[in-house]
């Protein structure tokens, strides 16, 4: 079974690489490499938003939230996962008109506020996406160990290399091309694996009930997840690239709504399996993994299908992240004449430390939560950039105030600044509403107040 599993996974990765390489634009300009400007239809964007937003996380987080917190919190997670697409679909046309030759969220920040804010936004975006990359590759290693005898390091390196081959050569066009096929494949595999997992459920005991958590607690978790996931994903450069890749404003809007709707359905279905697993009394494992608990003692073909599903999920998110980080790094340098070859080497170089981290098998949940909180503190000041009254001072002040707002709930409740800092770093890797709500509310309030109080001055941009 070891050789068969390795062959099937290898074949899947080779297919992804072939599809990506076939879509490359030979000797195209650097701009096309990182934006595929004005080329993608609504259906392509919808499938791309779905595939690039999904990852191995959907096999862990939604089922666990469903099993232990219930459908209300699960709905918050699903909405938070889809909301960034919808926000960009609604807000994107204005961004395209304001910055028709734009390439990234960092360029948007510079156009609104200047070079200093651009550098800050670039740093936050790269840090978040690097965490995401490490988490996805770590997750596929864990899933491989759980479902097969294949060495996890082999699959981690295999996924990294396969995606690197076609993203380094083909850029965003390669990622978009594979997204279409990966989206359909993951939907088909989810249907097969999910229906078989459901069929394998034991009969519901007479005392079966939804998780016994107070409604207020479930609402708190739901709101936390909406804020955290939405704010963080709005700093995902891979999603911003698709704003300019859209053929026109209508394609962007429809594609974003399609991707968001499919994302909500997928997250709710997978999370629903977690709820049913908990209600049925199945042993969820230690640590609890409700989705994989349903695959315990499953036939070999079902475990292999689940593993191919996981590889597809990881590949579809990793290629987007690789291209997104590289585009952020080279976008500004590209204005100074960076070559396409250099852009490709940047893509290769960024994966080396990420793979090294993933091979350690570390938990990155707490780091993810901190990155989410950092994004929540500055997302509103950045997005207010199209408001005519908004100023660089208001944006920076709002961002700093948002960081203090994240600390404030713990500071007030526990009586010391240091306790507030600890609470905002999520000890135990447990997401709590206070820091996120404080960051979002205070950053918005201070940004608006400063925007009205300080007269706007012409933005000083960096040298082109």
349-360: per-residue pLDDT in tens? 878 888 888 888
The pLDDT tens digits for 414-437 are: 888 988 898 888 887 677 888 999
Task: Measure Cα distances from 236 to 88, 244, 294, 396 in Å.
Answer: 11, 14, 32, 20
More confident residue, 116 or 251: 251
Calculate mean pLDDT across residues 153-163: 93
**φ and ψ of 246, to 5 deg:** -60, 140
- In whole angstroms, what separates CA 194 from the centre of its chain? 22
Task: Measure Cα distances from 205 to 63, 200, 209 in Å.
Answer: 20, 15, 9
398 within 8 A of 443, measured Cβ to Cβ: yes
pLDDT of 201: 79
Residue of 364, 431, 411, 459 whose CA lies nearest to 132:
364
The pLDDT tens digits for 167-213 are: 888 888 888 889 989 999 989 998 898 888 888 777 777 777 777 78
**460: pLDDT strictly greater than 60:** no
**450: pLDDT strictly greater than 80:** yes
pLDDT of 244: 92
Give the separation between CA 395 and CA 405, rounded to whole angstroms: 15
- DSSP tag of 150: S
pLDDT of 463: 40
State percent of the chain over pLDDT 90: 25
pLDDT of 157: 93
232 confidence band (pLDDT: 50, 70, 90): confident
Q: Mean pLDDT score of the chain, rounded to an integer?
A: 85
The pLDDT tens digits for 71-120 are: 888 888 898 889 989 999 998 999 899 888 888 888 888 888 888 888 88
Which of 6-20, 327-341, 379-393 is predicted most confidently?
6-20
């Amino acid at each position: 079974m070891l050789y068969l599993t390795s062959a099937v996974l290898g074949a899947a990765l080779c297919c992804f690489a072939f599809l990506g390489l076939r879509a490359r634009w030979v000797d195209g300009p650097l701009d096309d490499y990182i934006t595929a400007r004005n080329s993608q239809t609504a259906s392509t964007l919808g499938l791309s938003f779905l595939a690039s937003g999904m990852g191995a996380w959907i096999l862990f987080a939604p089922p666990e939230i469903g099993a232990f917190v219930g459908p209300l919190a699960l709905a918050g997670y699903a909405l938070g996962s889809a909301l960034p697409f919808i926000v960009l679909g609604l807000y994107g046309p204005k961004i395209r008109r304001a910055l028709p030759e734009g390439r990234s969220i960092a360029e948007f920040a510079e156009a609104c506020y200047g070079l200093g804010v651009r550098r800050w936004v670039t740093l936050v975006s790269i840090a978040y996406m690097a965490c995401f990359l490490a988490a996805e590759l770590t997750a596929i290693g864990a899933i491989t160990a759980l479902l097969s005898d294949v060495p996890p390091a082999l699959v981690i390196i295999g996924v990294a290399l396969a995606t690197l081959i076609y993203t380094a050569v083909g850029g965003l066009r390669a990622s978009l091309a594979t997204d279409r096929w990966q989206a359909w494949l993951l939907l088909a595999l989810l249907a097969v694996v999910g229906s078989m997992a459901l069929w394998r459920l034991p009969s519901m005991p007479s005392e079966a009930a939804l998780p016994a958590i107070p409604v207020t607690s479930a609402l708190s978790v739901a709101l936390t997840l909406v804020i955290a996931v939405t704010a963080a994903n709005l700093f995902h450069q891979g999603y911003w690239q698709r704003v300019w890749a859209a053929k026109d404003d209508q394609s962007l809007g429809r594609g974003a709504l399609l991707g968001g709707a499919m994302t909500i359905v997928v997250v709710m279905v997978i999370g629903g399996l977690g709820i049913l697993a908990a209600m049925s009394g199945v042993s969820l494992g230690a640590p609890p993994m409700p989705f994989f608990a349903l695959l315990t003692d499953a036939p070999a073909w079902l475990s292999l299908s689940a593993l191919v599903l996981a590889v597809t999920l990881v590949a579809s998110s990793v290629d987007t992240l690789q291209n997104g980080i590289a585009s952020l790094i080279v976008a500004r340098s590209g204005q100074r004449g960076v070559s396409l070859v250099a852009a490709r080497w940047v893509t290769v170089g960024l994966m080396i430390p990420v793979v090294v981290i993933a091979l350690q098998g570390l938990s990155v949940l707490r780091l993810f939560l901190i990155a989410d909180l950092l994004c929540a503190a500055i997302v509103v000041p950045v997005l207010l950039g199209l408001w005519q009254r908004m100023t660089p001072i208001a944006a920076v002040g709002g961002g700093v105030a948002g960081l203090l707002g994240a600390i404030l709930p713990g500071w007030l409740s526990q009586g010391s600044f240091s306790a507030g800092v600890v609470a905002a770093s999520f000890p135990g890797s447990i997401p709590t509403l206070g820091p996120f709500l404080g960051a979002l509310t205070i950053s918005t309030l201070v940004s608006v107040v400063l925007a009205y109080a300080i007269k706007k001055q012409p933005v000083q941009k960096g040298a082109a």
